[in-house]
Amino acid sequence: VGTIAIKLKLCKGMDYARVAEHADKSGHRKLAAAIVEHEPYSSKQVPLLLSIGEEEAALTKATESGDTDLVYFVLFHIWQKKPSLEFFGMIQAKPLARD
Report mean pLDDT in 10-residue bins for the chain, 99 residues.
68 81 91 88 94 92 93 94 88 79
> Residue 69: its pLDDT value, please?
94
**Domain hosting residue 12, numbered range:** 2-98
pTM of the model: 0.79
The C-alpha atoms of residue 14 and residue 30 are separated, in whole angstroms, by 19
Return the half-sphere exposure (C-beta side, CA atoms, 13 A cut-off) of residue 87. 12
- 82 DSSP 8-state letter: S
Number of structural domains the chain divides into: 1
> Residue 56: its pLDDT value, please?
92
The distance between the two most distant Cα atoms of the chain, rounded to a whole number of Å, is 44
